[in-house]
Amino acid sequence: MIVIQAKDYDEMSLKAYEAMKKVLTEKPDAVLGLATGSTPVGLYKLMIEDYKRGLVSYKRMTSINLDEYVGLPVTHPESYRSFMNRNLFDHIDIDIANTHVPDGLAEDLEKSAAAYTAFAAAHPIDVQILGIGANGHIGFNEPGTPFDSHTHVVELKEGTRRDNARFFDNDINKVPTHAVTLGLKDIMNAKFIILLASGSGKADAVKKMIKGTVDESCPASVLQTHPNVLVVADEAAAYYLN
Ligand code: F6R
Q: Residue 161: give its domain's CATH number.
A: 3.40.50.1360
Which of 200, 211, 192 is CA-nearest to residue 234? 200
Give the residue whose CA is nearest to atom 3 of ligand 1: 139
Q: What is the pLDDT of residues 171-208, one digit of tens each?
A: 999 999 999 999 999 999 999 999 999 999 999 999 99
CA 237 to centroid of ligand 1, rounded, Å: 14
Domain for residue 64, yes or no? yes
Structure confidence at residue 32 (pLDDT) = 98
Ligand 1 in contact with 39 (CB < 6 A)? yes
Burial class of residue 140 in the structure, from the number of CB atoms within 10 Å of its CB (0-12 exposed, 13-18 middle, 19+ buried): buried
Positions in the chain whose pLDDT score sits under 70? none
Domain membership of residue 221 (yes or no) is no
Pocket test for ligand 1, best of 41, 68, 140 (most atoms within 8 A of CB): 140
| Ligand 1 within 6 A of CB of 102 | no
Number of domains in the chain: 1
Is residue 89, in this structure, part of any structural domain at all?
Answer: yes
Domain that holds residue 120: 10-127+138-188
Q: Give the Å distance between the CA of 35 and the centre of ligand 1.
A: 7
Q: Is residue 59 part of a domain?
A: yes
Which pLDDT value is given to residue 242? 87
Identify the bridge partners of residue 200 per DSSP, sorted by sequence position: none
Domain membership flag for residue 224: no
* Residue 150 near residue 183 (C-beta atoms within 8 A): yes
Q: Is 137 in the pocket of ligand 1 (CB under 6 A)?
A: yes
Is any ligand 1 atom within 6 A of the Cβ of residue 182? no
Q: Could you tell me which residues come within 8 angstroms of residue 188 by beta carbon, excluding any fewer than 6 positions away?
A: 147, 222, 223, 225, 226
The answer to whether residue 67 sits within a structural domain is yes
| In-domain check, residue 235 | no
Residues with catalytic function: 67, 135, 137, 142
Examine residue 143 and state whether it is found in any structural domain, yes or no: yes
